[in-house]
Chain A
Amino acid sequence: MASAPSLAASLNPATTSDDVQRAELSEIDASTKWPALFLLASAVGWLLIGTVFALISSVKMHSPDFLGNYEWLTFGRTRTAHLNAVVYGWSVNASFAVAFWLMARLSRSVLRHAGLLIVAAVFWNIGVTVGIAGILIGDSTSIEWLEMPAYATPLLFLAYALVGAWAVITFRFGKSKHIYVSQWYILAALFWFPWLYSIAEIMLIFAPARGTVQALVNWWFAHNVLGLWFTPIGLAAIYYFLPKVLGKPIHSYYLSVLGFWSLAIFYNWAGVHHLIGGPVPVWVQSAGIAASFMMVIPVIVTAINHHLTMVGSFNALKYSPTLRFIVFGAVSYTVTSLFGSAMAIRSVAEITHFTHFVVGHAHEGMYSFFTMVMFGSIYYIMPRILLKEWPSAKLISLHFWTTAIGSTLYVFDLKIGGFIQGLLLNTPVLAHKFGLQPGTDPVPFIDTVKVTIPYLQWRTYSGILMTVGHIAFAINFAWIIVRSAQATKTQPTLFRTPPEMEVTAQ
């Protein structure tokens, strides 16, 4: 470490190649072991629970009598339990683990106060458990994305405060002078979330604002959880793993800076597009639409940066599980974001708002982008903290193909079904032009329901596919933990053996 790192080396996580750095990295990785393992194991547990609720809810949408006699399993509760389990259980636990691990590595600092993190993680998971149990027994607040009853939130807040304190400490102890773009995203996310969450809790639950100001606060929060928490963590992971696995620098440092600041400025205004046409001031709606559309800039900038880094290295997709998931996520981010900008336009929102189209879009963001990136990250992190390799490449392959095909089918299916539903619901003239209905009068409402049923059935089939993938993932995850270290091979687990080991990571 005597020589001052060159600019390129300090910008790019891929250039830590000498042995000293390797040793340092593995020391850092080892220090993250217990908190990361606890968070990831909880995440996988919640993923399975969330998947069960997802399937139940999906079946109920086309076969409403399914489990219809149990109040605690009525659609309004299982759907909410699903959302909270996958968002606050799976996604937040996974993003905590990935964020810490990246922070420790990029700050070149061993993880201090691991106990603090484990306590925080325990509190967080107790809070989520209490919250979801509360939803099922009938204490849901019915505020979208904030359904957990008020008695669960102090636990979550306490957990988050510990996490924040930890992150600041780690960052301050960091040895690396340069701040890599992934760290920008993680620091920003860690700072933004508590602000959003505390304002929303106060103005919606503890001292509710008057009238539809609540709706504005609600969507300012709910969309920013996506845009200012999950998106930055997901992008941080892509910015780290893409160059790391490929062994080459990110395409352009300056683009990554531009992408970061344009996202920070535009995304946080975009949430109002959930209220287009609603009883809130029109100027806020217009501002939200403009901001949503301006999101094209950070998205295109980030897309150029990610995809041009990939160009010339597509061959590596044949071998590396991490890369395959990460690239799938990066491409989905581009696609879903451009769709999102388009959906904010008033004439498009007239059709897609209030329909299954939005559900398809939401899953494209939270699943095809964020969840797939987390899968890829976990495939990279686990062998490094456990010093063991994944037991089965076949299970990883099964996991990838079921989730990739399942989520793609899901998104296409609901977008098509939702668009037809929206045409029939809102624009009889247009629906007539498309040949969807006989006249130009509004069709009976029940017809707009019936037309969606086949699409809702296909949603269940794609959900079953994803469930298979999640089970494969969970088996591999449990297996790598319990298998003995001696039995393990020293080679990384790849889909197939590359002709020469040009791929530096697994």
Chain B
Amino acid sequence: MNRAPLIFLGIFFALAFSWTGIVLTNQISYGSLKPVYDETEGKSYPLQTPGLAARGKQVYEDLGCIYCHSQQIRRPGYGDDIERGWGDRQSVAHDYIRENRVLLGTMRTGPDLRNIGARQTDRTWHYQHLYDPQITSPGSNMPPFAFLFETHKIVGQPSPKAIQSKLPAKYQPPAGYEIVPTERGETLVDYLLSLKDTYAYPETKNVYVEPTPEAGKEEKK
């Protein structure tokens, strides 16, 4: 008896099962979520990522930041994401619909960055931190990204973007030189500063209800 066709059918349907369930069903059920138009603000959320930040996102991707930094906040009560101040609310599917590439991440060797633009708004801090993380976060195992900066001779007026005055003594360039972020460095910081999910979509408003003595039977969803 040749059982090959039967085995093949089984093999086919095994994968067809999860392909339908995980990929197709979800693509149909929420693969075409639309932005939410807020009438009081006159804007559509999530906001479009500004051009420079979008270029910075490519730097984030090609340097592989995702391997140590996630971009997703878990709900209150599951993990410590909210308590750590990584966000005011959990991340929802709506937050990501404008992104051509979704970078949820699976490691937290470093902190979550989904709202880094809301909690660390100082551009200089980001430059210091990227130049050498030990400046702002002693003991960190994040690698230095000094190659996103260049040291060059001051010609005429010093550059307004120069950062050496913000760096500790050991990083100072020779006299007459200055350290400025490269275009890649600048756009990367633009991207980091753009990361904030602050808009409250309808579905984020009652994802978690603090249990009170009276409302014992409150729905969790």
Contacts and interface: CB of A to CB of B under 8 A. Distances in A.
Interface of A: 60-62, 64-65, 68-71, 74-77, 79-80, 138-144, 171, 177, 179, 184, 187-188, 191-192, 195-196, 199, 203-204, 208-217, 220, 224, 228, 261, 264-265, 268-269, 271-272, 274-275, 277-281, 284, 287-288, 346, 350, 353-356, 358-359, 425-428, 441-442, 445-446, 449-450, 452-453, 456
A354 B15 contact: no
A216 B78 contact: no
Contact of B104 (A188, A212, A287): A212
25 contacts: A62-B141, A76-B64, A140-B61, A142-B66, A144-B106, A179-B4, A179-B7, A191-B8, A196-B15, A212-B102, A216-B23, A224-B18, A272-B22, A277-B74, A279-B91, A279-B95, A280-B26, A353-B79, A354-B107, A354-B108, A358-B107, A445-B84, A449-B141, A450-B139, A456-B141
Contacts of B19: 195, 199, 220, 268
Given A210-B32, A449-B141, A284 B22 contact: yes
Nearest to A192: B15
Contacts of A427: 79-80
Contacts of A228: 15
Given A64-B140, A188-B14, 13 more contacts: A65-B144, A74-B145, A75-B68, A76-B64, A184-B7, A192-B11, A210-B33, A210-B97, A211-B99, A212-B102, A350-B78, A446-B140, A449-B110
A76 B10 contact: no
B80 A442 contact: yes
A231 to B, nearest CB: 13
Interface of B: 2-4, 7-8, 10-12, 14-15, 17-19, 21-23, 26-27, 29-33, 60-68, 70, 72, 74-75, 78-80, 83-84, 90-97, 99-104, 106-111, 133, 137-147
Nearest to A200: B23
A450 B109 CA distance: 10
A188 B12 CA distance: 8
Given A142-B66, A191-B8, A211 B30 contact: yes
Contacts of B83: 428, 441-442
A70 B139 contact: no
A143 B101 contact: yes
A284 B63 contact: no
B119 to A, nearest CB: 12
B29 A281 contact: yes
